[in-house]
Amino acid sequence: MARKRNFKKGNKKTFGARDDSNAQKNWTELQKENEKWEKYYKDLGVIPDAEWDEFKKTCQAQLPLTFRITGSRKHAHEVLSMFEEHHLPYLTGCEFEGEAIAPPKKLPWYPENLAWQLDVSKQVIRKNEQFSKVQRFLVAENAVGNISRQEAVSMIPPLVLDVKPEHTVLDMCAAPGSKTAQLIEALHANCDEPTGYVVANDADHRRSHMLVHQLKRLNSANLMVVNHDAQFFPRIKTDKDSNQFLKFDRVLCDVPCSGDGTMRKNVNVWRDWGTGSGLGLHTVQLNILKRGLNLLKQGGRLVYSTCSMNPIENEAVVAAALRHWGVKIKLVDCAELLPGLVRSKGIDNWPVIDKNYIKREKGDEGTHETWFPPTSEESAAFNLDRCIRVYPHQQNTGGFFITVFEKVNSESNEVSKRATTEEPKEESVVEKKQKTEGGVAATATVTEPVSVKKEKLPRDANEEPFVFLSPDHPELKKCWSFYGIDDKFDKSCCLVRNATGEPTRVIYYVSPCLKDVIEANEDRLKFIYSGVKLFVSQRSDIECSWRIQNESLQIMKHHMNSNRVVDVNIDCFKLLLTESFPKFEDLEKSHIDDNFLNKMKSLSAGCAFVSVDRGEEKEELFLPMWNGSKCANLMVSKESTQELLHRLFGDEVAVQQAAAAAERKAAANLAAAESKTEEGESSSVNEVPKEPATSDDQNM
């Protein structure tokens, strides 16, 4: 079993977060050398001799800054244009201390030029004025979710998973959440109300709450976060009145790993790396993969990935799954996917080296058969060369391994030399746990297929109840009438999260496709989060005390009538961004937008909405507004206000304020996380901590 390491989880920082000076000093003192690592990979032969020096030098070098632009297509391209027009020209031909600085470059394999890489040091970013200006821009856009800081290779698995708006998607090991965010974005691509959804799972309770924090800003009603050991992920009932269980269209298994592909940022890997980690994790990884394949629909696609270069964690796991499932699964040929990505093929032969660095043979005591490479006959059938290996020196990234599985349709006439013809049945959760010691299974082979025996969750497993409201509830009926909500909106999908089951302060909304799942699985799933805020109680002395939250506006704007929607010109909108509660009498004197003023004065007090038409090429802005008797106020967060002022009006002071606020917030979060770690909090025994082995996020 791989040993647990005391990595402080506060090391995950957002844009602009400052590194702890003492930690940074200790990092620089670590020697980036490991004789066993070097011998292992030289003997393995995956890196040609002519490339070895470049490979090792790249592994020892600092990881470049990479980011991707998120959001809807119009919105994303507007942020991209801002970067390309207002920042990129000034980053070409720059010098620092007499040396030329490489300009940012787009990742050629990422769709629509929406991902970029900066091959510069942190010192340059902090001290060069042009790069410092770009950093402030990235901080402001990251704070509102328009940009995601993510390692380049971490972006690959969600892309090759090929998620569509109608798909049901399971992310089995989701924290910290950058890949999950990509899955949600794909689900919502050009579609505010997709019919599919994402179930994001993590084994560690605290990390699952961190996951919520990362994903809430995407404002998706099609997301559910749960907390289970991925090896034993429960079957999900499709509805409470049937005995049908959900099979997913897409499954992502980005499993815990030894993480030598992350050694450019997690420098402790140089000191701690040994062959024992990969051997110990192998069975956990295989169990998660097999569970994911069990939950995959026929014709569905599963991506297995690690940030490790070790074949014991990669091809050996893939081969064991192919051996177990036979003709029911196959590897997808990804050669034509992501053109521009430099990659290597998977391998089908490797030595098994134990933790004492002794070569072991199949059948030796203390070994698992699944560690060893396939036979020549299996190799011909498995097509392990279809796996993707990305090495750091190929395009200045981290190391990564990606494999795409497809569950073959039962009607398929595909012929295979593999013998298994029946889909393996699921074991009971109890039997699986009996085969484990400390979270690592004693064997990777399923010996006795049995039907699943359901273990009921304790009554207090879900911290907050999910109680759906009747669409005829008096408080909801007020909202339907006040906002003119049409009948196309599913009014039965509103819920509260309190013990009384009554709407007291907040009413949430989940997508209709998730409602049945939540109601049918209260005793099966450990719910952490689902739903976006729809209505929040504001005041009781007005016609409707419930205001619609900004989180749900992308949905609700399609279902409300125009009675409380007010058009505003761009000059008046700027005033609303810069001035809180502008008085109607002042607006009347300025004549900045008489149509806006007249419409606002005609409305009753309460929540209204402003619409800013910016032309066909740019995204329409649709935001909530509070209408009072003598004044109005735009209900937008401070971060969003600063970002809009910068993006729409070029306000540099606003972006500086946003960067400073984000840095203070990140520092506070870091201090809180480190405090909790020092108090003795640790990851679940059943799953090796994934933070030292994740490439989702990067340190600044």
Catalogue the active-site residues: 307
Residue 177 in marked binding region: yes
Three-class secondary structure assignment of 179-192: HHHHHHHHHCCCCC
Residue 176 in marked binding region: yes
517, 495 Cβ separation under 8 angstroms: no
CA angle at residue 565 from 559 to 567, to 5 degrees? 130
Q: What is the chain's alpha carbon radius of gyration, rounded to the nearest angstrom?
A: 27
Listed residue (432, 7, 31, 383) closest to 231, CA to CA: 432
Handedness of CA 19, 307, 246, 526 (dihedral sign): negative
First to last CA, the chain: 32
Residue 530 in marked binding region: no
Listed residue (478, 473, 484) closest to 609, CA to CA: 484
Residue 179 in marked binding region: yes
685, 439 Cβ separation under 8 angstroms: yes
Strands 329-331 and 400-407: antiparallel
DSSP 267: T
DSSP 438: T
367, 352 Cβ separation under 8 angstroms: yes
153, 307 Cβ separation under 8 angstroms: yes
Residue 174 in marked binding region: yes
Residue 202 in marked binding region: yes
1, 256 Cβ separation under 8 angstroms: no
Residue 127 in marked binding region: no
Six-digit token string for 58: 């790249």
Residue 43 in marked binding region: no
Q: Which residues contact 242 (CB under 8 A, 6 or more apart)?
A: none
Interior/surface letters 215-241, b for 16+ CB within 10 angstroms, e for the rest: bbbbbbbbbbbbbbbbbbbbbbbbeee
Known binding-site positions: 173-179, 202, 229, 254
Known binding-site positions for S-adenosyl-L-methionine: 173-179, 202, 229, 254
